[in-house]
Amino acid sequence: MAKSIRVVTLAVALVLVPASVAVAAPPSDTVIVKFKDGTSAAQRSDALQGADVDRTVGTVPVIGARVVRAEDSASATAGALDDDPAVDYAEVNRRMRAAVVPNDPLFARQWALQVINAPAAWDARALAGFPSGGGPVVGIVDSGVRTTHQDLQGAIAGCLSATTTDAGSSVSDGGCEDQNGHGTNVTGTIVARAGNGIGTAGLAFNSTAIMCKALDANNVGLMSDISACIVALRDRGARIVNLSLVGPPSETLYRAVAYAYDGGNGALVVAASGNDGTTNVNYPAGYAEAMSVAATDNTDSHPAFSTSNDDVEISAPGVGIIGPYNASDSSYAIFTGTSMAAPHVSGLAALLATVNPSLNAAGLRSVIESSAVDLGAPGPDPVFGYGRIDVARAVAAAGASVDQPAPPEPPAEEPPAAGAEAE
Ligand SMILES: [Ca+2]
Ligand SMILES: [Ca+2]
Ligand SMILES: [Ca+2]
């Protein structure tokens, strides 16, 4: 049941595209007022004086409204004008903003963040200033991470590695150097700093990641190491655990995933569905405790490699995902696979935990599912699960949600097996 590695690594020429947007702040103390048709100049003058209007500062063409400055409170002036019989309507001339665009030069190439409506979510949730803190810790089991990468400074909260020796499987601090590049891309997709004028933007730029390295330079690792990492990440407080790797079922892996998820009260476990292009169920995604993530492309279509089965729970972009690379501290590369879809879900979960810290893992999972954009056959289906994630809809739902859904049914026991590979 060996799986070949289908991660595509393409070196990317750095084309820097300025993407900053300057928005001048309009005055805040003005009111828009529209008089009723046929009102006299005297009636208008009386209305303006009675509402403490200082002066008229402009007009709104076609609409026929004027913009006036209030002597004191814009809202009081708007209210007084609105009550005047000569006035059609009046309203405070409020600030509106361009949907936030980070100044990261490669953001223009991050199509996935546009498709899943990340900028609108950041804007709506006061993350438009791209704070570098305030989010939960995300655990990642992968090939390691280039901790010195320029876009990951301040983003890495821990560097762990697992080794299986005669003394047994163990996890220790350090040793998380990425010899493949896969783990650095996954990490960057979730927590690359945004608004720093460098490279790409992570979806959950305000979170930090703990990497636990369990995959080697060929993206292959032992079940024992992967399982030990999952347990260690949960023990170190990860609210989400990203598993962009697949393999055959394993009792050890199952127990580690169940330990981390803790019946919906632990960490949300997010796993790649696989790149078989078949209906095989891969693990850990196949366990009921783990969210199985399928890939979509930039047209919300199903890429042929993305594994489809009844366990697929959600979809996210996984084709042509640009992110930090391990070749140097300033390199970026494009990866494709369900490995890249899973971290978009993990990043979303981190944002949801930021918006509503009271959501437990089951709650995060429920919000992600209920807010997804349905694709393919109506309703949940084996190709897309509940649909493609929508960050704006999800954070809106999380802000309103205080429900804690019941944990899932316990899964069937699975026989042990030996290896897993990155997808
Ligand atoms: Ca950046
Ligand atoms: Ca599952
Ligand atoms: Ca569907």
Confidence category of residue 102, pLDDT binned at 50, 70, 90: confident
Mean pLDDT of 97-109: 76
Q: So what's the pLDDT on residue 96?
A: 58
- Phi, psi torsion values for 255, nearest 5 degrees: -65, -35
Token representation of residue 389? 């994630």
Number of H helices, E strands in the chain: 10, 18
Residue 352 · residue 391 · CB < 8 Å: no
Q: How far is CA 27 from the centre of its chain?
A: 34
Quote the pLDDT of residue 257. Answer: 97
* Catalytic hit among 84, 142, 225, 276: 142
| 339 three-class SS | helix
Question: How many CA within 13 A on the CB side of residue 234?
Answer: 21
- Ligand 3 centroid – CA 382 distance (Å): 8
Reported confidence tier of residue 421, pLDDT bands at 50, 70, 90: low
Q: Indicate which ligand has the atom closest to the C-alpha of 373.
A: 3
Smallest Cα–Cα separation from 104: which of 190, 191, 18? 18
Residue-wise pLDDT tens digits, 119-166: 989 887 768 789 999 999 999 999 999 999 999 999 999 999 998 877
The label of the residue with tokens 């891969």 reads 282
> Cα(288) to centroid of ligand 2, in Å?
4
302 as an active site residue: the answer is: no
Who wins on pLDDT, 92 or 143?
Answer: 143
Residue 125's H or E segment, with its range, is none
According to the model, what pLDDT value does residue 324 have? Answer: 97
CATH of 8-16+105-422, one of 3.55.50.30, 3.90.550.10, 3.40.1670.10, 3.40.50.200: 3.40.50.200
Which residues, 6+ apart, have CB-to-CB distance to 299 below 8 Å? none
pLDDT value of residue 169: 67
Nearest Cα neighbor of 78 from 26, 25, 34, 27 is 34
Ligand lying closest to the C-alpha of residue 324:
1
* Average pLDDT over the chain, rounded to an integer: 87
Q: How confident is the model at residue 23 (pLDDT cuts 50, 70, 90)?
A: very low
The pLDDT assigned to 60 comes to 83
pLDDT at 415 over 60: no
Q: Which of 339, 346, 371, 401 is catalytic?
A: 339
Contact call for residues 135 and 141 (beta carbons, < 8 A): no
Residues whose CB is less than 8 angstroms from the CB of residue 419 and which lie 6 or more positions away in sequence, other chains included: 2, 220, 221, 222, 223, 247, 248
Give the sign of the dihedral formed by CA 121, CA 123, CA 128, CA 133: negative
pLDDT grade for 253, boundaries at 50, 70 and 90:
very high
Q: What pLDDT was estimated at residue 30?
A: 87
Q: Give the pLDDT mean for 201-216.
A: 97
CA 192/CA 208 separation, integer angstroms: 9
Q: Where are the domains of the chain?
A: 8-16+105-422, 30-92
Q: How far is the CA of 324 from the centre of ligand 1 (A)?
A: 9
**CA 316 – ligand 3 centroid, Å:** 13
Q: Other C-beta atoms within 10 Å of 111: how many?
A: 16
> What is the pLDDT at residue 423?
67
pLDDT at 195: 93
d(CA 319, CA 212): 25
Protein residues near ligand 3, an ion, with CB under 5 A: 374, 376-377, 381
Q: How far is residue 105's CA from residue 13's CA, in Å, rounded to a whole number?
A: 13
Query: What is d(CA 338, CA 27) in angstroms, rounded to the nearest whole number?
Result: 47
CB burial readout 346-377, b (16+ within 10 A) else e: bbbbbbbbbbbeebbbbbbbbbbbebbbebbe
40 classed as catalytic: no
8-16+105-422 and 30-92 share one CATH topology?
no
What CA dihedral angle connects 36, 41, 44 and 46, to 10 degrees?
-150
**Assigned fold of 30-92:** Alpha-Beta Plaits (3.30.70)
Residue of 182, 207, 224, 292 marked catalytic: 182
Q: Which residue has the higher pLDDT, 100 or 338?
A: 338
With a cut of 70, say whether residue 184 has pLDDT above it: yes
413 falls in which pLDDT band (50, 70, 90)? very low
- Pairing mode, if any, of strands 290-296 and 268-272? parallel
- The rounded Cα 399 to chain-centroid distance in angstroms is 15
- At 337-379, the pLDDT tens digits run 999 999 999 999 999 999 999 999 999 999 999 999 999 999 9
44-68 pLDDT per residue, tens: 999 999 999 999 988 887 788 899 9
**For the chain, what percent of residues have pLDDT higher than 70?**
85
